[in-house]
Amino acid sequence: MSQPLASLRRFLAAILLLGMSGTAIELLLLQHDEDRIQLVPLVLLAAGIAAVAWQVIARSRAGATVVRIVMVLFLGAGTAGVYYHYQANVEFQREGDPSLAGRALLWKVLQAKVPPALAPGVMIQLGLLGLAYTYRLKEG
């Protein structure tokens, strides 16, 4: 592998590990563990940290495959999380004002602070970053 590509890959791994660690800490501080569905991102973040650390240390084809699998799961979890946060906000907004609909409802939902409707998008970003990290990665 060329030196610039190896340097870029190390940089991506560092950003990925920092992003996953920071997100996990934030979710723990926010007590994002009240029910099973809220544990999904925490479990995936732990798996992602372990997988990327393994790949950085071992630099194996199997490690790269595991990272890719976990990152695809990040994409799914992030998409599902946006859906769940959005639905929770719709229910909350309609409880407060049953007449809300259409664009007015959408804006209220997107501007809600708890739960932030688009916050799970960070899992999508991390998943895409992880897939970029493993792009054309075989060994070394």
Span 62-100, pLDDT tens digits? 999 999 999 999 999 999 999 999 999 999 999 999 999
- The 10s digit of each residue's pLDDT in 5-41 is 889 999 999 999 999 999 999 999 999 999 999 999 9
Q: How far is CA 137 from the centre of its chain?
A: 21
Judged against a pLDDT cut of 90, whether residue 3 lies above it is answered with no
Torsion from C-alpha of 62, 64, 65, 68, nearest 10 degrees: 160
> Would you place residue 1 in the very low, low, confident or very high pLDDT band (cuts 50, 70, 90)?
low
Residue 135's region, left for phi above 0, alpha for psi from -120 to 50, else beta, is beta
